[in-house]
Structure 1
Amino acid sequence: MASALTDKLSRLVKQMRGQARITEANVQDMLREVRMALLEADVALPVVRDFIARVKEKALGQEVLGSLKPGQALVGIVNKELAATMGEGVADINLAAQPPAVILMAGLQGAGKTTTTAKLAKHLQEKRKKKVLTVSGDVYRPAAIEQLRTVTAQAGAEWFASGPEQKPREIALAALDYAKKHFFDVLLVDTAGRLAIDEVLMQEIKELHAVLNPVETLFVVDAMQGQDAVNTARAFKEALPLTGIVLTKLDGDSRGGAALSVRQITGAPIKFAGVSEKLDGLEVFDAERHAGRILGMGDIVALVEQVAQGVDMEAAQKLAAKVKSGDGFDLNDFLGQLQQMKQMGGLSSLMDKLPAQLAAKAGQVDMGKAERDIRRKEGIICSMTPHERRRPDIIKATRKKRIAAGAGVQVQEVNRLLNEFDQMRTMMKKMKSGGLMKMMKKMGGMKGMPGMPGMPF
């Protein structure tokens, strides 16, 4: 995420921290570098000018000049102003309305609007415990209606049927009536997108807005569009009273410009960020934490949240009780550890939230290879019989050949997995005295991280 900008700014952060004395000259040098980094990251010019002016005013004030550690104070100012540019703190979604609260999803075709609608449905159900209905008003692309039906089902929400022969206004009113009669808390309306902004699109979505009177009008924009994202956001803001922005594909945005520009250009707060293609890959946007990521400071809070969400504590407690009772650690338990790693969103997703220095060390490990290793080990264990998983000691030469053939790997890979399993089983035996749960709580579920002995890879 915003890797090019992060690289430049994290280098500057190191230089600034080392400054024993702040003068107008070295502030000017630093701001020149920041300005170039922001422009190269595709941040809109008016946003860059405003940002630089604010940092300069505060950097040359007593706040920094009178500080015992002026370099660190300067970093603090840059961090604070980055967060202010993207909006202060967290802008929560507003559901304070007579049910159903209507949320209108707007944006261009290809921005990820339909998938984001399903992600938001999942988020509202799991995090806010709401009963959610989705409907598609995109009558120009029948595939869009079917896509919303599919992803809504995957999200566990309910979908209201619509067809290309209907008018968007009719669809919206019918869905609203259904949502009222069946006591839904939230109605998510996916609207038609175009490849470019046109008058017909704007007129149609204005009419939908007037009919539905939504409590939230969210503009879904592709972060990878850079400067174009800002231009389209501005056009939609002029047509609609936008209440919030959802930035999609933030995990693929190497420049970071959209996140810094779109808030200031439109005046609407960024409420959510799409950070992966999975349906749970939607994060509530926190400007201060995102600023920390851009400056290479990482986002430890998000890392802990991701790990906590991925770790099945009930399963961990069962495993602890099993080991403590003397039943032993078997390959089914080992497989469970591997699968929990996958539930945490993968190693690369975790690395993205580490501070730059730690991420650089972890980056020496090929994350893609590590994730492939996890999948390979999972395949090997799945090629074993239930009896072999419960009694790994019976796996000798003939069984190893059969398992290797079933998993499509060499026998050496099976041997390597069994050796790693033995290491982990030995560690579990040492924890039999009751320290296993303490260890798991301390690790926070960080099983399988590079450099941790006896872990799954």
Structure 2
Amino acid sequence: MFESLTQRLSGTIERLRGRGRLTEENIREATREVRIALLEADVALPVVSALIEKIKVRAVGQEVLKSLTPGQALIKVVRDELTAVMGSTASELNLNVPAPAVILMAGLQGAGKTTTTGKLAKLLKEKRKKKVMVVSADVYRPAAIEQLKTLAEQVGVLFFPSDAGQNPVDIVRAAIADARKSFVDVLLVDTAGRLAIDEAMMAEIKALHAAVNPVETLFVVDAMTGQDAANTAKAFGEALPLTGVVLTKTDGDARGGAALSVRYITGKPIKFTGTGEKVDGLDVFHPERVAGRILDMGDVLSLVEQVEQQVDKDKAQKLAEKVASGKKFNLNDMRDQLEQMENMGGIGGLMDKLPGLGQIPENLKAQVSQSREVPRMIAIINSMTKKERRNPGLLNGSRRARIARGAGVQPADVNRLMKQYLQMEKMMSKMAGGGMKGMLRSMRGMMGGMGMKGGLPFR
């Protein structure tokens, strides 16, 4: 998300960054470029106008023009106002109610409600340590009930059965009664969607809301619909007392107009963003971190959280202890690190959180994101014998040719892997006892050369 906006803004920001002095003319030119960039990103016009006006008012005041580093001060103003328009801080779910806390999922058909219900169930179970039950009140699409049952089994939460012949209100009331008996903390209710907003749909979901009185009513909307997402959310918000929005398919949205428009137009916070079909593809929405990513400052906090959640801590600790004790880093260790990277979505899954990406051409970023380099490297290591993996020094020319044939690659690919191994081995020997920070540095080392000469521009 935000690739096109980041690329457009990063040039403007870079020009201002080193300015020793700013004039009103400089600021007018910069805000004009910011305005064009926002409109191209499909941000709603009222949002763009309000945002630019706030930036102008603050930019021509003492805060910027009298600052010792006016370029940096203006960047801070832009970041602060972008953060404010998206809601300033992350908005938590309100679960501080007598159990079960009922969360109603609403939205149009195709927005990803059922998948998001499964993702949210996993997040609440694992991060909030809640006992979760899910129920489908979508009696118009029998496949939705089966899909939710499959997702519940996949993420390990309770599923309350329903069928197409039942009344949605009866289904949910029965689910609440069962949740109480089962001492469930949170009940997630997946509702029926339509292809468009219509009176029958609104009447049904209003009746359902009135009957079950949920503590949270989340509107699930496709981010790729841009400012239309904000307009649809507004229409739902007029019919239902929404408490928040979930933006789905954000990995397919290069513009980011929805994220920058929804809060301003609806007055409701974006609580989560969803990516892909995997059940772990749901993230808490942090406006201040997103603003940093838009301005090409990266999102290191989210990257660290991702590493801490998805890296095998036991393996990381064992590796740190091994390196600290002076034992040599080998190809088994390298394979473990590569597999950890794949678990986090590969290079593409990490790239958008790194600072400085806006200055890299789009075609090169796409090439790196789609690269199969990591799986290829894992395949090469798997083609080695256990002895070779433990003792990389054994890999002479004939052994490398055999490994290449086994992995279906060229000997040059094996040579390139060995070059990267030697770089990592050297780095590991320097960072004994580096712990989780060391893990990040080693991943940075692996990313260098994978489709980019000189690696990524870390700052």
Fold shared per TM-score above 0.5: yes
User: Who is 2:125 aligned against?
Assistant: 125
Q: 1:19, 1:425 → 2: CA distance?
A: 41
| 1:16–1:400 distance in 2 versus 1, CA, 3 Å | closer
CA displacement at 1:234 relative to structure 2:
1.0
Q: 1:419, 1:41 → 2: CA distance?
A: 41
Task: Verify the 8 A CA contact 2:351 2:357 in the aligned structure 1.
Answer: no
Task: Verify the 8 A CA contact 1:31 1:56 in the aligned structure 2.
Answer: yes
Task: Verify the 8 A CA contact 1:352 1:359 in the aligned structure 2.
Answer: no
Q: 1:26, 1:325 → 2: CA distance?
A: 56
Q: 1:214, 1:144 → 2: CA distance?
A: 21
Residue by residue over 1:116-171, the C-alpha shift from the partner in whole angstroms, topping out at 9 and shown as x without a partner, is: 11111111111111111111111111111122122222222222222112221121
CA displacement at 1:80 relative to structure 2:
1.0
User: Who is 1:449 aligned against?
Assistant: 447
Task: Verify the 8 A CA contact 1:351 1:359 in the aligned structure 2.
Answer: no
Q: How does 1:224-239 map to 2 (within 5 A)?
A: 224-239=224-239
Task: Verify the 8 A CA contact 2:321 2:433 in the aligned structure 1.
Answer: no
User: Who is 1:192 aligned against?
Assistant: 192
User: Who is 1:455 aligned against?
Assistant: none
Higher mean alpha-carbon deviation, 244-253 vs 318-327, is at: 318-327
Higher mean alpha-carbon deviation, 388-397 vs 340-349, is at: 388-397
CA displacement at 1:33 relative to structure 2:
2.2
Q: What letter is aligned with 1:449?
A: M
CA displacement at 1:21 relative to structure 2:
4.0
Higher mean alpha-carbon deviation, 147-156 vs 437-446, is at: 437-446
CA displacement at 1:65 relative to structure 2:
3.1
| 1:407–1:153 distance in 2 versus 1, CA, 3 Å | farther
Q: 2:334, 2:294 → 1: CA distance?
A: 36
| 1:152–1:25 distance in 2 versus 1, CA, 3 Å | same
User: Who is 1:6 aligned against?
Assistant: 6
Output the aligned Cα RMSD. 3.1
Q: Report the number of matched residues.
A: 451
Q: What letter is aligned with 2:448?
A: P
User: Who is 2:181 aligned against?
Assistant: 181
User: Who is 1:61 aligned against?
Assistant: 61
| 1:49–1:358 distance in 2 versus 1, CA, 3 Å | closer
Task: Tell me whether 1:312 sits opposite 2:308 in the alignment.
Answer: no
User: Who is 1:375 aligned against?
Assistant: 375
User: Who is 2:34 aligned against?
Assistant: 34
| 1:397–1:52 distance in 2 versus 1, CA, 3 Å | closer
Q: 1:55, 1:320 → 2: CA distance?
A: 47
Contiguous gaps of at least 5 residues in structure 2: 451-459
CA displacement at 1:333 relative to structure 2:
2.8
Task: Verify the 8 A CA contact 1:317 1:437 in the aligned structure 2.
Answer: no
User: Who is 1:283 aligned against?
Assistant: 283
Q: 1:308, 1:41 → 2: CA distance?
A: 32
Could you say what secondary structure the match of 1:50 adopts?
helix
Q: 1:35, 1:60 → 2: CA distance?
A: 17
Q: 2:239, 2:230 → 1: CA distance?
A: 14
User: Who is 1:343 aligned against?
Assistant: 343
CA displacement at 1:357 relative to structure 2:
5.4
Q: How does 1:48-447 map to 2 (within 5 A)?
A: 48-322=48-322, 329-356=329-356, 360=360, 368=368, 371-383=371-383, 389=389, 404=404, 407-410=407-410, 413-414=413-414, 417=417, 421=421, 430=429, 436-438=432-434, 441-444=437-440, 446-447=442-443
CA displacement at 1:252 relative to structure 2:
1.9
Could you say what secondary structure the match of 1:87 adopts?
coil
Q: 1:57, 1:425 → 2: CA distance?
A: 53
Q: 2:366, 2:51 → 1: CA distance?
A: 36
Task: Verify the 8 A CA contact 2:3 2:358 in the aligned structure 1.
Answer: no
CA displacement at 1:395 relative to structure 2:
7.2
Residue by residue over 1:216-253, the C-alpha shift from the partner in whole angstroms, topping out at 9 and shown as x without a partner, is: 10111111101211221111001100001111122221
Q: 2:30, 2:329 → 1: CA distance?
A: 55
Q: 2:272, 2:251 → 1: CA distance?
A: 13
CA displacement at 1:400 relative to structure 2:
6.5
Q: 2:369, 2:242 → 1: CA distance?
A: 43
CA displacement at 1:78 relative to structure 2:
1.5
Q: 1:255, 1:316 → 2: CA distance?
A: 36
| 1:407–1:150 distance in 2 versus 1, CA, 3 Å | farther
Q: 2:4, 2:330 → 1: CA distance?
A: 44
Higher mean alpha-carbon deviation, 335-344 vs 350-359, is at: 350-359
| 1:183–1:81 distance in 2 versus 1, CA, 3 Å | same
Q: 1:59, 1:427 → 2: CA distance?
A: 44
CA displacement at 1:270 relative to structure 2:
0.8
CA displacement at 1:181 relative to structure 2:
0.6
Q: 1:23, 1:417 → 2: CA distance?
A: 52
Q: What letter is aligned with 1:65?
A: L
- The normalised TM-score by structure 2 is 0.88
Task: Verify the 8 A CA contact 1:105 1:190 in the aligned structure 2.
Answer: yes
Task: Verify the 8 A CA contact 2:302 2:353 in the aligned structure 1.
Answer: yes
| 1:425–1:22 distance in 2 versus 1, CA, 3 Å | closer
Q: 1:83, 1:320 → 2: CA distance?
A: 38
Task: Verify the 8 A CA contact 1:365 1:450 in the aligned structure 2.
Answer: no
Q: What letter is aligned with 2:101?
A: A
Contiguous gaps of at least 5 residues in structure 1: 453-457
- The normalised TM-score by structure 1 is 0.88
**Kindly, what percent of the aligned residue pairs are identical?**
59
Task: Verify the 8 A CA contact 2:296 2:358 in the aligned structure 1.
Answer: no
Residue by residue over 1:302-339, the C-alpha shift from the partner in whole angstroms, topping out at 9 and shown as x without a partner, is: 12222222322311222344566787555433321211
Q: 2:274, 2:214 → 1: CA distance?
A: 22
Could you say what secondary structure the match of 1:260 adopts?
helix
Q: What letter is aligned with 1:43?
A: V
| 1:76–1:402 distance in 2 versus 1, CA, 3 Å | closer
